[in-house]
């Protein structure tokens, strides 16, 4: 899938993290990539995160998957919505929906959630802390847009859903298949299915909070710290008042913390690993049979394309003029000049063919062997 009439540069300038935007069918040719039955089947799998939202009057009830197949036959006429996370990890045609959005950095892209709703179904008025593109796949959905919200905005009392206590509609649109709505973080919104077979694809973008960054960065630092690294004051002198915490002590204590927290190089390496950690790290994508370097070389000679695992996250940081640090699925791979161009292509494209000259470089073969055996790459045999 590719855009036909969507100007990404103008969008970033005028709308990204600023204001909502309705885009009427920007695709060359829209084709719904997933059937309702396929989505229901995923919701029954125990390794897939899913929720079923049912409505009764003005109340919403949430059930967490995996769902038994018989559950869908019991729903009757009440409005309901099925939500399935990270469908792009399991369905290549859904993963292809992400590719046109690569004008946004890889580390910001989260996953594709897919929803199916009966007539009148929805999840209620809410807001998100992240950017989202909402693509109408099948049927119609009416989207209502409200004002800006934050952590102080009043919510209804609900164990599973963050529903707004008050929702005032500022704008409203009816989306048809192929239409797309962008909503920035914090903007209140409410989507309601109009008619049967309403499917919506939500492409979400990660936006780490300061609290999240500090907490996880410190968690990473602590195991490498020694109890022997302690405060010292060999130049201590007599104070006028022993109850005072002297300015010099505060300076020294503060430096003990900031020296570790402000090392930019260490932070960059940590963030590359942290941001590339898979959403579901417990899922094992490794091949049944590992490959060795000689096997890999033989396969590459026949120009078989390498395919990036849709569940894997690839990004890199330039470390020098020629080399880089490649981050894949929470691991850091220092890449020298011989393999750096290939590492960067892996981050930019979901399919690549390894150049003949690159196949001769041991650094390239070592890197590709590690990524293949880790489940981050596979061969496209089509």
Per-residue model confidence (pLDDT) at position 168: 95
Tens of pLDDT along 154-210? 999 887 888 999 999 999 999 999 999 999 999 999 999 999 999 999 999 999 999
Q: What is the pLDDT of residue 157?
A: 84
Indicate the burial class of 377 (C-beta count within 10 angstroms; 0-12, 13-18, 19 or more). buried
Indicate whether 246 pLDDT > 90. Answer: yes
**Percent of the chain residues past pLDDT 70, beyond the cut:** 100
Mean pLDDT of 227-241: 93
Q: How far apart are CA 275 and CA 371, in angstroms?
A: 17
Whether residue 77 has pLDDT greater than 90: no
Q: What percent of the chain has pLDDT over 90?
A: 86
Mean of pLDDT values over 328-344 = 95
Select 8-205's CATH number: 2.60.120.650, 2.40.10.220, 3.20.20.150, 3.40.50.720: 2.60.120.650
Going by pLDDT thresholds of 50, 70 and 90, the confidence category of residue 320 is confident
Q: DSSP letter string over 168-189?
A: --SEEEEEPTT-EEEE-TTEEE
Work out the average pLDDT over 328-338.
95
How many whole angstroms from its chain centre is CA 17? 17
Sign of the alpha-carbon torsion through 309, 11, 117, 138 = negative
User: If DSSP codes are grouped into helix, strand and coil, which group holds residue 27?
Assistant: strand
pLDDT of residue 137: 97
First to last CA, the chain: 18
User: Would you state the pLDDT for residue 73?
Assistant: 86
pLDDT value of residue 58: 74
Give the tens place of pLDDT for each residue, 262-298: 899 999 999 999 999 999 999 999 999 999 999 999 9
How many residues are present in the chain? 382
Measure the CA–CA gap between 50 and 280, rounded to whole angstroms.
Answer: 13
The domains of the chain are located at 8-205, 293-379
Q: Residue 382 above 70 pLDDT?
A: no
CB atoms within 10 A of CB 147: 14
Pick the CATH number of 293-379 from 3.40.366.30, 3.40.50.620, 3.30.470.20, 3.30.70.1380: 3.40.366.30
């Amino acid at each position: 899938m590719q855009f036909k009439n969507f100007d990404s540069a103008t969008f970033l300038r005028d709308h990204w993290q600023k204001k909502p935007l309705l885009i009427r069918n920007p695709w060359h040719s829209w084709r719904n990539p997933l059937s309702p039955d396929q989505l229901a089947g995923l919701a029954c799998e125990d390794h897939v995160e899913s929720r079923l939202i049912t409505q009764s009057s003005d109340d919403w009830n949430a059930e967490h998957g995996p769902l038994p197949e018989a559950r869908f036959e019991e729903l009757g006429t009440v409005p309901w919505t099925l939500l399935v996370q990270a469908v792009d990890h399991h369905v290549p045609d859904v993963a292809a929906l992400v590719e046109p959005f690569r004008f946004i950095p890889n580390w910001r892209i989260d996953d594709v959630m897919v929803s199916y709703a009966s007539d009148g179904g929805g999840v209620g008025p809410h807001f998100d802390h992240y950017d989202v593109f909402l693509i109408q796949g099948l049927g119609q959905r009416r989207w209502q847009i409200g004002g800006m919200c934050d952590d102080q905005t009043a919510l209804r009392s609900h164990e599973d859903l963050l529903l707004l206590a008050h929702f005032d509609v500022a704008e409203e649109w009816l989306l048809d298949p192929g239409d797309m709505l962008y909503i920035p973080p914090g903007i209140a919104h409410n989507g309601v299915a109009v008619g049967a077979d309403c499917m919506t694809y939500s492409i979400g973008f990660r936006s780490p909070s300061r609290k999240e960054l500090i907490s996880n960065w410190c968690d990473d630092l602590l195991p490498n710290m020694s109890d022997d690294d302690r405060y010292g004051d060999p130049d201590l002198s007599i104070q006028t008042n022993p109850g005072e915490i002297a300015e010099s002590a505060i300076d020294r204590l503060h430096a003990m913390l900031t020296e570790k927290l402000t090392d930019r190089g260490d932070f960059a390496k940590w963030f590359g690993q942290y941001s590339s950690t898979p959403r579901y790290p417990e899922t094992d994508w490794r091949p049944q049979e590992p490959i060795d370097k000689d096997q890999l070389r033989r396969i590459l000679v026949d120009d078989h394309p390498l395919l990036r695992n849709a569940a894997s996250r690839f990004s890199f940081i330039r470390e020098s003029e020629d080399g880089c640090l490649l981050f894949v699925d929470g691991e850091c791979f220092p890449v020298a000049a011989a393999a750096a161009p290939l590492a960067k292509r892996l981050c930019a494209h979901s399919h690549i063919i390894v150049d003949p000259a690159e196949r001769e470089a041991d650094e390239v073969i070592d890197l590709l062997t590690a990524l293949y055996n880790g489940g981050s790459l596979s061969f496209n045999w089509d």
